[in-house]
């Protein structure tokens, strides 16, 4: 039979001030399933930036632009005891990276309101933004100077003239790993509200150049043209590229992270140097093997802390990164937070101390680091997951985005003493009236005795006496992590399967973040094999409890989750259907095509020429003759991370074995489906595939939009 289209839900207001610590969905409202469009369209908030006085916070909101088929990012602002409001609007583009001026009078941000991203200024009270740079190649990132008179930024160098000549004569070609544009450090004066501004006074020189009448010797034509302040170059050279920068609190120096080139595999060459702003003198500070970056100044400008691979160049994809402190004058570095068995992130050094965020299993907490002993102390565990944070100038107030089990990401503000977070947004109201089901953390023992956790989603009317179809959704990474809470599932319609009467299991298989370095190392030379143990033992756990129907089970995932799904396709017949999203099918094929060759060498501890056996043992294609499971394959046309030959190899192998398969290529996309229309298509493709194989339903993907359907129904009436 044909499945009916899903009902359209109603979107409520999105950003409303709330004065309680938690946000809840109304239990009394009528529950309906959202349409696929609605589940893709809900707004997402992130990236807090708090004003120097701690009273106002900017943040970024991502919304869906269906007409232009893109996701729009704009800056919002919330003041103390007021409702949030949208501060910027960049037609056909995004407004990102808001940063407060040290005196709080201006907010700088990046926007492409022309050809390239430039720095703009806007008043916190609103009004029209003004551009303050006109850099031909655009701005990569920027920081205010402590006095607010200057902004330092990084920008890519101009394309070399020889390359332009080559292109003109020989057309387009590229030499792999040998052609790129370096980024360097610049500084520009900040002169807001010029009077008059460039463009308000005729520029006779420009008009004469356009007409061809310009006299190069005319002083008059050269002096009546107003322009923005010209940036001053601070670094140059062909042997490094600048990736990050931070001003010292006294404004005299800039610490900057740099590497030999912008290629992704050059991250292991990242070092830190100090620039004297006035003299231009550059002094190397951290030059150890492995990647070192993310410099953060002490409030007295005498020390830096930074995140380091600790000299590791052979296993840094899954080993912990280290936090170090070093004098700005150089010398011996001191390790901090050595007692924290996880990756430190969002590191801040305020007048009140050093703070960072880190996973603790499926929770992400705020920690304080003792400056003398280096020991960490749990500072805040509410809400469940704290994603990003920013501190006021005095370090006494923090803004952060967090999420609890029943909410979307919400913006919080709190004094550090006492720590009593107040939620300032209500993004969760978007889900009001939606059929969401529930989620809980469960655990089981894997084949080799390893304890594995996962998130189990149940229908809202779950009946423990029934057996349900089971959908296993496997995250990527492998150092990703799934946590209990509301999720829309990317291209997997989780909430719709729950509403239809199914269980959804999202396992945190070995290698996942949150469980420490040893756990993340358990799939080294054991990829696919150990991962499959963890997935299948989780399935057995639910079947053994009488919850899952062993005759109606499905598995799917994207990236590393797609690889594990492909491994399951060729190594077990437990599932009725599988979907492989951007997955690896053959590690040799992956190794020679991917843009991150070291990933494979680190996890398999060899290249395929030195140890072909481990590549064969862990590759789905090795067991292709055992494949029986109907398999949908989804892949981006221009995927560099998991290149599309992996999809074609699995597709052909399944065809040769007479296994039902379908390959869908999303045109123009890389590793992710980052436009709403194609994401909608991918979601429908999964719904259609599993409807047939799990429920025996033939689904016709609708061509009419919800609006067109409603208009047609109105006309029929």
Please write the tens of the pLDDT for every residue from 611-653.
999 999 999 999 999 999 999 999 999 999 999 999 999 999 9
- pLDDT band at residue 75 using 50, 70 and 90 as cut-offs: very high
Q: CB neighbours of 637 closer than 8 A, spacing ≥ 6?
A: 644, 665, 666, 667, 668, 669
> What is the average pLDDT across 578-602?
97
By the 8 A CB rule, do 38 and 63 touch? Answer: no
Count other C-beta atoms under 10 Å from residue 81's C-beta: 9
Closest CA to 649 of 597, 575, 593, 705: 593
Residue-level pLDDT at 717: 55
The CA dihedral of 238, 243, 248, 254, to the nearest 10 degrees, is 10
* Range in 77-81, 172-176, 198-202, 541-545 the model is least confident about: 198-202
Percentage above 70 pLDDT, the chain: 91
506 torsion bin: left (phi>0), alpha (psi -120 to 50), beta (else) = beta
- pLDDT band at residue 232 using 50, 70 and 90 as cut-offs: very high
Closest CA to 117 of 51, 150, 87, 73: 73
> What is the average pLDDT across 226-247?
94
Instruction: Quickly list DSSP for 593-654.
Output: H-S-HHHHHHHHSS-TTT-HHHHHHT-GGGGGGG--S-EEEEEETT-SSS-THHHHHHHHHH
Per the model's pLDDT, the better-predicted residue between 193 and 557 turns out to be: 557
Count other C-beta atoms under 10 Å from residue 466's C-beta: 12
Q: CB neighbours of 10 closer than 8 A, spacing ≥ 6?
A: 32, 432, 433
> What is the average pLDDT across 389-411?
96
Residue 684 lies in a domain: yes
- CA distances 390 to 155, 248, 311, 340, 386, Å, are 25, 17, 29, 21, 12
By the 8 A CB rule, do 382 and 20 touch? Answer: no
Per the model's pLDDT, the better-predicted residue between 564 and 220 turns out to be: 564
Residue-level pLDDT at 488: 81
Residue labelled with tokens 């170059």:
233
* Range in 367-376, 427-436, 463-472, 687-696 the model is least confident about: 427-436
By the 8 A CB rule, do 585 and 579 touch? Answer: no
Calpha distance 415→379 (Å, rounded): 12
Residue-level pLDDT at 32: 82
Calpha distance 523→515 (Å, rounded): 13
Q: With a cut of 70, say whether residue 654 has pLDDT above it.
A: yes
> What is the average pLDDT across 496-522?
97
**Average pLDDT of the residues of the chain:** 91
Calpha distance 553→89 (Å, rounded): 46
673 is in which domain, residue-wise? 436-694
SS3 category, 108: strand
By the 8 A CB rule, do 594 and 582 touch? Answer: no
By the 8 A CB rule, do 498 and 443 touch? Answer: no
Most confident of 24-33, 175-184, 187-196, 438-447: 438-447
Residue-level pLDDT at 201: 75
- pLDDT band at residue 198 using 50, 70 and 90 as cut-offs: confident
- pLDDT band at residue 30 using 50, 70 and 90 as cut-offs: low
Residue-level pLDDT at 314: 94
Per the model's pLDDT, the better-predicted residue between 601 and 177 turns out to be: 601
Q: With a cut of 70, say whether residue 267 has pLDDT above it.
A: yes
Q: Can the peptide bond before residue 676 be classed as cis, meaning omega within 30 degrees of 0?
A: no
E-assigned strand segments in 280-395: 282-286, 292-297, 303-308, 322-327, 334-336, 345-350, 353-360, 363-369, 376-380, 385-391
> What is the average pLDDT across 124-153?
95
Residue 268 lies in a domain: no
E-assigned strand segments in 447-512: 451-458, 468-474, 503-508
- pLDDT band at residue 10 using 50, 70 and 90 as cut-offs: very low
Calpha distance 367→373 (Å, rounded): 14
Residue 627 lies in a domain: yes
SS3 category, 225: coil
Residue 705 lies in a domain: no
Classify each residue of 379-396 as buried b or exposed e, where b means 16 or more C-beta atoms within 10 Å of its C-beta.
bbebbbbbbbbbbbbebe
Q: With a cut of 80, say whether residue 195 has pLDDT above it.
A: no
Per the model's pLDDT, the better-predicted residue between 82 and 716 turns out to be: 82
Report yes or no on whether pTM surpasses 0.85.
Answer: yes
Closest CA to 353 of 317, 396, 310, 383: 396
Calpha distance 315→384 (Å, rounded): 30
> What is the average pLDDT across 335-341?
97
Residue 521 lies in a domain: yes
Residue 399 lies in a domain: no
Residue 648 lies in a domain: yes
CATH at 494: 3.40.50.1820
Residue-level pLDDT at 220: 47
Residue 570 lies in a domain: yes
Count: domains in the chain: 1
Residue-level pLDDT at 716: 57
Residue-level pLDDT at 40: 92
Calpha distance 479→483 (Å, rounded): 13
> What is the average pLDDT across 103-108?
97
Residue-level pLDDT at 163: 81
Token representation of residue 291: 């990647």
Q: pLDDT by residue (tens digit) across 536-553?
A: 999 999 999 999 999 999
- pLDDT band at residue 376 using 50, 70 and 90 as cut-offs: very high
> What is the average pLDDT across 62-85?
96
Count other C-beta atoms under 10 Å from residue 89's C-beta: 12
Closest CA to 475 of 501, 449, 450, 494: 494
């Amino acid at each position: 039979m044909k499945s009916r289209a899903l009902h359209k839900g109603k979107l409520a207001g999105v950003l409303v001030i709330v004065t309680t610590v938690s946000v809840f969905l109304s239990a009394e409202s009528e529950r309906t399933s959202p349409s696929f469009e609605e589940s893709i369209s809900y707004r997402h908030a992130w990236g807090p930036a708090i004003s120097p006085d701690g009273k106002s916070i900017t943040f970024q909101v991502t919304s869906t632009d269906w007409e232009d088929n893109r996701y729009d990012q704009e800056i919002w602002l919330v003041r103390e005891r007021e409702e949030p409001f949208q501060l910027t609007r960049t037609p056909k583009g995004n407004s990102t990276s808001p940063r407060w001026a040290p005196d709080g009078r201006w907010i700088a941000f990046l926007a492409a309101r022309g050809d390239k991203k430039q720095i703009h200024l806007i008043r916190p009270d609103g009004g029209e933004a003004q551009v303050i740079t006109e850099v031909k190649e655009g701005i990569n990132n920027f920081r205010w100077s402590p006095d607010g008179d200057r902004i330092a930024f990084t920008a890519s160098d101009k394309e070399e003239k020889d390359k332009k000549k080559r292109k003109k004569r020989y057309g387009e070609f590229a030499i792999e790993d040998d052609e790129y544009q370096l980024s360097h450090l610049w500084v520009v004066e900040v002169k807001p509200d010029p009077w008059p501004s460039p463009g308000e006074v005729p520029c006779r020189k420009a008009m004469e150049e356009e007409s061809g009448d310009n006299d190069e010797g005319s002083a008059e034509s050269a002096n009546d043209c107003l322009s923005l302040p010209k940036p001053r170059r601070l670094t140059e050279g062909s042997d490094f590229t600048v990736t990050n920068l931070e001003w010292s609190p006294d404004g005299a120096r800039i610490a900057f992270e740099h590497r030999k080139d912008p290629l992704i595999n050059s991250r292991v060459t990242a070092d830190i140097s100090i620039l004297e702003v006035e003299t231009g003198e550059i002094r190397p500070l951290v030059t150890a093997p492995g990647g070192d970056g993310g410099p953060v100044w002490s409030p007295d400008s005498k020390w830096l802390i930074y995140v380091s691979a600790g000299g590791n160049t052979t296993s840094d994809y899954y080993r912990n990164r280290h936090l170090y402190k070093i004098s700005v004058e150089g010398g011996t570095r001191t390790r901090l937070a050595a007692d924290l068995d996880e990756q430190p992130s969002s590191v801040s050094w305020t007048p009140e101390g050093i703070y960072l965020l880190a996973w603790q299993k499926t929770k992400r907490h705020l920690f304080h680091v003792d400056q003398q002993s280096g020991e960490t102390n749990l500072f805040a565990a509410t809400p469940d997951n704290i994603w990003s944070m920013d501190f006021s100038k005095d370090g006494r107030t923090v803004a952060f985005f967090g999420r609890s089990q029943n909410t979307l990401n919400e913006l919080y503000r709190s004094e550090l003493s006492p720590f009593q977070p107040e939620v300032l947004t209500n993004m969760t109201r978007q889900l009001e009236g939606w059929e969401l089901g529930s989620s809980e953390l469960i655990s089981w023992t894997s084949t080799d005795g390893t304890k594995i956790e996962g998130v189990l989603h149940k229908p809202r009317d779950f009946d423990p006496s029934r057996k349900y179809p089971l959908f296993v959704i496997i995250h990527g990474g492998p150092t990703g992590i799934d946590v209990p809470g509301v999720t829309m599932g990317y291209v997997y319609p989780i909430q719709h399967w729950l509403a239809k009467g199914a269980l959804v299991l999202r396992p945190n298989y070995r290698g996942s973040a949150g469980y420490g370095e040893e756990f993340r190392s358990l799939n080294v030379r054991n990829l696919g094999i150990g991962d499959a143990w963890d997935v299948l033992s989780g399935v057995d756990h639910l079947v053994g409890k009488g919850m899952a129907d062993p005759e109606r089970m499905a598995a799917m995932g994207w990236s590393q989750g797609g690889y594990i799904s492909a491994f399951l396709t060729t190594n077990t017949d437990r599932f009725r259907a599988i979907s492989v999203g951007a997955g690896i099918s053959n590690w040799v094929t992956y190794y020679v095509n991917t843009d991150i060759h070291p990933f494979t060498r680190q996890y398999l501890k060899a290249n395929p020429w030195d140890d072909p056996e481990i590549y064969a043992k862990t590759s789905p294609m090795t067991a292709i003759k055992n494949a029986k499971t109907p398999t949908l394959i989804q892949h981006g046309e221009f995927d560099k991370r998991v290149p599309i030959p992996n999809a074609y190899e699995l597709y052909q192998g399944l065809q040769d074995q007479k296994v039902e398969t379908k390959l869908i290529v999303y045109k123009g996309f890389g590793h992710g489906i980052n436009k709403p229309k194609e994401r909608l298509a991918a979601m429908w493709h999964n719904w259609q595939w599993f409807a047939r194989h799990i429920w025996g339903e033939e689904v016709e993907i609708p061509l009419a939009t919800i609006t067109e359907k409603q208009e047609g129904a109105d006309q029929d009436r």
